[in-house]
Chains A and B, each alone.
Chain A
């Protein structure tokens, strides 16, 4: 199965709170798991990425948690800010780098 399932579809968080977006996959051949951030009217931009030999990666307020046995990974946004309001996509790479994207999560951070 080449699908990547993402949840929730939309998320509302108060300023300062933690935003959590989850993704699940089936294909154990996936070898690279990036998260992309997309603002309205713009193209997606790489936010953070992880490989399956690492269980966690942190960059500033953004953390990926990776559970290889459960075939799940998640994005945590600490101290969420209104400027983080965007659509977030998880993805997985296979066959030398072609990306399979999740369905997207529309995050709204309320001031």
Chain B
């Protein structure tokens, strides 16, 4: 079991560029989440999904879009990157809604 994997691990973007972060889980979890982690602010929920084909907004959704076309994958898109989106992004999944979330290793994104 690989658990939760994220690609890429690191990325540098210029302002205005777009990119997609991929999250994959092999635990057959229904629920998947995207968080961003910034110093002194903990982790904040961007978007989440309660099942294949469904997505919902979290605390800080502006500037991001998501898709869950397959149960095992959850994609996070940045259409026009801004320096404020410089952060470490974590994907997580859980079998039951919210409880015992399993996190991936993170993607460090820098927007210049």
| A and B bind | yes
Q: Does B62 contact A (CB under 8 A)?
A: no
In A73-111, which residues have CB < 8 Å from any B CB?
89, 93, 96-104
In B19-73, which residues have CB < 8 Å from any A CB?
31, 33, 40-45, 48, 58-59
Q: Does A18 contact B (CB under 8 A)?
A: no
- CB pair A44–B99 under 8 Å, yes or no, is no
In A26-61, which residues have CB < 8 Å from any B CB?
32, 34, 36, 41-46, 49
Closest Cβ–Cβ distance, residue A98 to chain B (whole Å): 6
The A-B contact count (CB < 8 A) is: 61
The CB with the most chain B CB atoms within 10 A, among A89, A93, A97, A100, is that of A97
Residue-wise, chain A 2-46 has the 8 Å CB interface mask toward B (1 for contact) of: 101010010000000000000000000000101010000111111
- CB pair B40–A96 under 8 Å, yes or no, is no
Residues of B within 8 A of A99 (CB): 33, 43, 45, 98, 101
Interface size for chain A: under 10, 10 to 19, 20 to 34, or 35 or more residues?
20 to 34
- CB pair B94–A97 under 8 Å, yes or no, is yes
- CB pair A103–B103 under 8 Å, yes or no, is no
Q: Looking at chain A's contact residues, is the secondary structure mostly helix, strand, loop, or mixed?
A: strand
- CB pair B44–A43 under 8 Å, yes or no, is no
- CB pair B90–A43 under 8 Å, yes or no, is yes
Contacts A97-B97, A104-B42 supplied; 16 other A-B pairs, CB < 8 Å: A2-B59, A6-B42, A41-B105, A43-B4, A43-B104, A43-B105, A44-B43, A45-B103, A46-B102, A93-B98, A97-B96, A98-B45, A98-B98, A99-B33, A103-B41, A104-B40
Q: Given known contacts A32-B99, A43-B106, is B94 in contact with A101 (CB within 8 Å)?
A: no
Residue in A44, A49, A93, A98 whose CB lies within 8 Å of B103: A44
Q: Given known contacts A42-B105, A43-B106, is B99 in contact with A101 (CB within 8 Å)?
A: no
